[in-house]
Amino acid sequence: MTVRNSLLAILSGQSAHGYALKSTFEDSTAGTWTLNIGQVYTTLDRLERDGLVEGVSSDDPKRRTWQITEAGRKELSGWYEAPVLDDPPARDELAIKVLLAVAADGVDLTDLIQRQREATMEKLQGYTRHKRRADPDEQLPWLLMLDALVLKAEAQLKWLDLCEERLRDRRAR
């Protein structure tokens, strides 16, 4: 769904070839999401089938320029209007691992949590180094993406703190 709507979003600005769509998509997701060109063409075919885009100028998919239709614009504004709900929530491997470790015998949770904390902090330090170098005017999408990654890592670290506190409380009782 995201790729489909993202291509519509890009085409709403200007008509483009498949390859230009791929690189614009990758630029606007700050390189955190790469598409292969085959995926772009398949998505465009489906969008065309649904009447949301139309190919002009050539029958060869590689040379075709694509433009958004009226129906495509309607679909796109529906996407912008609908809040994003992570529903059902994406699976969280760390949470599942910790829950299983709590239920299991013989797993040293203190060690597990501390190792995870250090690894997540290392990632966070990496994002922060990128943030330092990012130009807030020239690289706004990149900076916003980094902010999102930073806050996710921070949330994970807070959750680890909370796990540790709850485990400590349980031991104290």
With 0-12 / 13-18 / 19 or more C-beta atoms within 10 angstroms meaning exposed / middle / buried, residue 53 is: buried
CA gap 155, 150 in Å, rounded? 9
Nearer to other proteins, 67 or 139 (CB): 139
Site string for other proteins, 44-73 (x = CB under 8 A): ------------------------------
| Sheet of strand 65-68: strand arrangement | 16-17, 65-68, 53-56
- In the list 117, 141, 143, 167, the residue contacting other proteins (rule: CB under 8 A) is 117
Q: Which residues pair with 67 in a beta bridge?
A: 54
- In the list 124, 134, 145, 163, the residue contacting other proteins (rule: CB under 8 A) is 124
Shortest Å, Cβ 136 to other proteins: 11
Shortest Å, Cβ 10 to other proteins: 30
- In the list 62, 71, 128, 136, the residue contacting other proteins (rule: CB under 8 A) is 128
Q: Which residues contact 51 (CB under 8 A, 6 or more apart)?
A: 69, 71, 72
Tell which residue, 97, 127, 125, 89, has the closest CA to residue 113.
Answer: 97
Residue 148 engages other proteins in binding (rule: CB under 8 A): no
Q: Are 55 and 65 a contacting pair, CB within 8 Å?
A: yes
Residue 153 engages other proteins in binding (rule: CB under 8 A): yes
Tell which residue, 70, 66, 69, 49, has the closest CA to residue 57.
Answer: 66
Residue 161 engages other proteins in binding (rule: CB under 8 A): yes
Residue 118 engages other proteins in binding (rule: CB under 8 A): yes
Binding site for other proteins (CB under 8 A): 114-115, 117-118, 121-122, 124-129, 131-132, 150-151, 153-154, 157-158, 161, 164-165
